[in-house]
Structure 1
Amino acid sequence: MSEEFPDEEWLDNDLVIDAQGRLFVRADRDSIAEGWPWAYAPDGAPMNPSSLPGPEGSVEETYPERPLVLLVRDGRPAR
């Protein structure tokens, strides 16, 4: 949950698509604390389960354009 988007709840490694069709992955806790909660999704890489740390963040909370749609959680397609 973030201050900017209090209704959103993301787990490490969640894969989302934003309103512009760009893919992002929820970053690790350290990156989130530093203000970089999202990373660009790697091309063709398998997604890690949320029990593993997310990637190092590279973009701010507000960069992915809302709405965000969850595609993969815990390494499995979202329903």
Structure 2
Amino acid sequence: MEAINIHEAKTRLSQLVARAAEGEGFIIAKAGKPMARVTAIDSPAAGQHKRLGFLAGQFQVPNEFDRMGQEEIAKMFGG
């Protein structure tokens, strides 16, 4: 995440807000010290990515999935 000096952020506020709205967050810093993080309202919280169900309906897991390759595995372990 890019750090922007507070003076530069005041000068380019509309550009920076537009970037944040597109999903590109940034940090506002004062004298090199991070002061605030700016992100889009609908972006996930830091460290939390919405991943569950992102492939819903894209493929089907076969009913015999837990038994696939059962014979080969048994042979490998002397069964």
Normalised to the residue count of structure 1, the TM-score between the two structures is 0.21
Of Structure 1 and Structure 2, which has the larger fraction of its residues in helix? 2
Q: Which has the higher contact order (CA 8 A, sep 6+)?
A: 1
Normalised to the residue count of structure 2, the TM-score between the two structures is 0.21
